[in-house]
Structure 1
């Protein structure tokens, strides 16, 4: 893993390194390896992860096909635009 330090800005490089490590799953793996995991526990964990991935893939496919509504889109107020109240 390579992180370039520009203008002696170590803080920015460290932040970039942490972001890359987070994306690669290094922190998650370090946390899992702190203690011994029994083979049966490992199988159960991996099976649960596979089920979660399959459910997520099925949900995404159903959203693409229009069978279920997609995630709600966030409406951000732009500068200069009046903010409407909900009128309660």
Structure 2
């Protein structure tokens, strides 16, 4: 869990900016989006293979 301690003379905006940066670095929102809907393992493998093919096709071009 991302946690930010606000300093004595720190503004709310700067604390919020630090919090959003921490959340981004921890990958919390990306993880929540990924887990929003259940994905069967077979579908996950197919997506991973398709991404691998796209990446190799892009690299060879």
Normalising by structure 1, what TM-score? 0.45
Q: How big is the shift at 1:31? A: 0.8
User: Rg bigger for which structure?
Assistant: 1
Name 2:3's counterpart in structure 1: 2
Normalising by structure 2, what TM-score? 0.60
Provide the C-alpha distance between the structure 2 equivalents of 1:27 and 1:12, rounded to a whole number of angstroms. Answer: 20
**Bigger share in helix:** 2
For structure 2, the 5+ residue unaligned runs are: none
For structure 1, the 5+ residue unaligned runs are: 60-88
Name 1:18's counterpart in structure 2: 20
Count of aligned residue pairs for this structure pair: 54
